[in-house]
Chains A and B, each alone.
Chain A
């Protein structure tokens, strides 16, 4: 057994880490988060030039190989640096769906532009009434000759504000929560009405209304009514990616807490010398290690099973969600007053670690899904 990255994967990790250290310090990140688009298009071009946008894709699709393990070095370092550029929603999730379901023509039209950093995509699947059940889709698509008419409301669509093209999950058949009858459509962002905003973790998102939106039949991705399996597969891959991001963010939260405990003095000694606090930090360390272990399990399981390993992914999301909660809360608590201020990086790690607990299904959702997959 070998738990080490390959040479290429290690080089990738090093290159992302160098970028974070040199160009993504906390103040630079703050400026990006406060900007209109919630991300830096200059950085996005850098991602393209360094080949990072190729990472999620197979060689046939113009990528580098696109294994699940390949995603880990990038996402972990992004987690460490709290990078808000939309690598996950654009390249991993929407790009993944396009690669999974798109026709050769659709892929040829869009994937090279995405990989070159020239096209922003988003996957619109969550709805105001739905929760984490991916089949709970009420947005409707009616076939009308050689067109579809789409109506519905999508909420908290990650990268939904910046995306030029949206992949919309809509129901061509059946009722809310039916597994059959869900289709995917490429929709020009200009055809919908959008309310863009920033999420609490600094990532951009949008609420999207589709009101009598017409798209040609050729804009459908994959078969009509049969998209759910592909959606689940791509969301699972994105779930693994966000787990890797969380592991990087947790390591960073632990490091910063240890550093603070070594230097902050109260009662004439570093607070890290108090045994009650030492044990708390030992628990944080154990959580980080358990999280990393289950992450590596899930990544290798995905690669060994053609990208379909729901039980492994849910195990990872459940366990890492629990660890993310623990690390975020404890890092803040051990920092004391400064930990609840906006000026401290740890506070922002805590916010992102809260968001990742809910992205693509909460901890409880994935625990229950794991149990069902026995």
Chain B
């Protein structure tokens, strides 16, 4: 057993640090660290800088433009990015649909879609959940009826994150009739968001931002060549994708940065004469969270080590989703507590770059409450934490039923 970084890994870390120091645009960094919503252009601008460097897609195989890094180097990369205040990669293209395309797509589909994802020329969104198919995703109702060399798609997808920016959506649709068992009736389609018949209705989340959408499909014609793999096998491909979605979902680096930020802010926050950091109850909560985060970090490192030796991340990755979101939400709550009264005002104009007035309360207070509200989604998305516990019970603990 050896849990230290090797010499090469340390050299790699220094190289990554130097790159981030030199290339991460200051305005993007500032907005990310303040916890503000970024514009589409902010994400694309940063992703294109990574593309120039050849580091846009660390999780891809090298033959499609991946970096060839070990799992440990990828972890170092994620850690340094979070530490530096780099925006997170929007996962839908890079981390979700691309692995499905390079694993199950045809040669033509790979050539058609992967380069635009790698270069961030196309923005993707995910069409899985429906108003009546959330945790029970397999009961989805959006239909794709065959009409010659097209499918005619009808239905509604929901919780579609940032669909307002999207050029493409990958969708689970029902191609089988009612007589076919749910899992065998589902196919995986890539749909151009500019197709006639698609409308996007924004849904405001708790922080007031239209982060998710309903996407309506009204007789949308989709070429059959946009189907990934075989008809009726979409569920299998989607499950692979969900596994990819779960790795990295522990979000240890991002949570650690927020925890360190909490410590710094608590030291600056007065609490009846002393600082809040000197309040023993607060200090204890901070310490307990830090300890939990260290345990989670090592649980993730153990998973990564297994991946390095060729084992696919299995249902254990549900632990990463559950604990990762729980710890992150607790750190969010700590930030709410630090802000106290000053997190209450809802003054969206002071989040703008050109805001010239005096902010209400300290600079970071105003966003901390909104982030807490917004991030209640984390224990719900990507398979709710309740569903993750069902997976652990069934697939790991052998508790059938």
Docked-complex contact A341 and B203, CB < 8 angstroms: yes
| Distance A128 CA – B357 CA, assembled complex (angstroms) | 16
Q: Mark B342-368, 1 if CB is under 8 A from A, else 0.
A: 111111000000000110110000000
Docked-complex contact A131 and B203, CB < 8 angstroms: no
Looking at the complex, which one of A129, A132, A199, A336 makes contact with B344 (CB distance below 8 Å)? A199
Docked-complex contact A333 and B282, CB < 8 angstroms: no
| Distance A267 CA – B389 CA, assembled complex (angstroms) | 16
Docked-complex contact B346 and A155, CB < 8 angstroms: no
Contacts of A151-167 to chain B: CB distance below 8 A: 155-156
Docked-complex contact A333 and B376, CB < 8 angstroms: yes
Check if A195 is an interface residue, CB within 8 A of chain B. Answer: yes
Check if A171 is an interface residue, CB within 8 A of chain B. Answer: no
For chain B, the count of residues having a C-beta within 8 Å of the partner chain is: 52
Check if B136 is an interface residue, CB within 8 A of chain A. Answer: yes
Check if B183 is an interface residue, CB within 8 A of chain A. Answer: no
Q: Hey, which chain A residues are within 8 Å of B133, CB to CB?
A: 266
| Distance A63 CA – B289 CA, assembled complex (angstroms) | 49
Docked-complex contact B386 and A133, CB < 8 angstroms: no
Contacts of A189-242 to chain B: CB distance below 8 A: 195, 197-201, 205, 207
Q: Hey, which chain B residues are within 8 Å of A195, CB to CB?
A: 357-358, 360
Q: Hey, which chain B residues are within 8 Å of A155, CB to CB?
A: 341-342, 360-361
Docked-complex contact A276 and B340, CB < 8 angstroms: no
Check if B206 is an interface residue, CB within 8 A of chain A. Answer: yes
Docked-complex contact A354 and B206, CB < 8 angstroms: no
Check if B281 is an interface residue, CB within 8 A of chain A. Answer: yes
Q: Mark A127-161, 1 if CB is under 8 A from B, else 0.
A: 01111110010000000000000000001100000
Which A-chain residue is minimally distant from B281 (CB atoms)?
A: A364
Which 3 residue pairs spanning A and B have beta carbons closest together? A133-B272, A342-B204, A266-B136
- Give 17 new A-B contacts, CB below 8 A, not counting A337-B380, A358-B341, A364-B281: A133-B271, A156-B344, A177-B272, A195-B357, A200-B345, A201-B344, A207-B345, A268-B139, A336-B380, A337-B212, A339-B376, A339-B380, A340-B373, A343-B204, A350-B206, A355-B344, A367-B281
Query: Which residues of A are interface residues toward B (Cβ below 8 A)?
Result: 126, 128-133, 136, 155-156, 176-177, 195, 197-201, 205, 207, 265-268, 271, 276-277, 329, 332-333, 336-337, 339-343, 347, 350-351, 354-355, 358, 362, 364, 367-368
**14 intermolecular pairs with C-beta atoms under 8 Å apart:** A128-B342, A156-B360, A176-B273, A177-B273, A200-B345, A205-B344, A267-B135, A341-B205, A342-B205, A343-B203, A343-B204, A347-B206, A351-B206, A354-B372
